[in-house]
């Protein structure tokens, strides 16, 4: 779980740098941290971006990992997300 999270977070600035939609990424990250959204609801919300069954399983695994975290960890994650979005590399987009 930690490796998947680290890889995902390192991809955020690159995604913003490419100019391909920080707004979409922000929506994804807000929904992934939200405890009121189940893994099934999360998959349904982004079904058009999921190319296959293996990706779907990975996304469910990722969302369930966030559902099992404490509020403190989720708050820290949100702080880190804001730091990335406000970074030099994403500020231009």
* DSSP output for 34-71: -TTS-HHHHHHHTGGG--SHHHHHHHHHHHHHHHTS-H
The pLDDT score that the predictor gives to residue 1 is: 61
Which of 61, 64, 65 is closest to 53 using CA atoms? 61
* pTM of the predicted structure, to 2 decimals: 0.66
Mean per-residue pLDDT for 2-12?
66
Give the count of domains, the chain: 1
**Side-chain half-sphere CA neighbours of 75 within 13 A:** 3
Asked whether residue 9 carries a pLDDT value surpassing 70, the answer given is: no
Count of other CB atoms within 10 angstroms of residue 29? 20
For residue 76, give its domain range.
Answer: 2-91
Contact 8, 62 (CB under 8 A): yes
For range 5-34, the mean pLDDT = 70
Position 45 confidence tier, pLDDT thresholds 50, 70, 90: very high
């Amino acid at each position: 779980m930690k490796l998947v999270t680290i890889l995902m977070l390192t991809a955020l600035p690159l995604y913003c740098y490419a100019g391909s939609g920080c707004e979409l990424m922000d929506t994804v990250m807000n929904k992934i941290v939200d405890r009121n959204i189940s893994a099934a609801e999360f998959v349904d919300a982004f079904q058009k971006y999921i190319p296959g069954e293996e990706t779907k399983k990975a996304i469910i695994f990722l969302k369930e990992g966030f559902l099992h975290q404490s509020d403190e960890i989720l708050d820290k994650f949100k702080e880190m997300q804001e730091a990335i979005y406000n970074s030099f590399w994403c500020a231009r987009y």
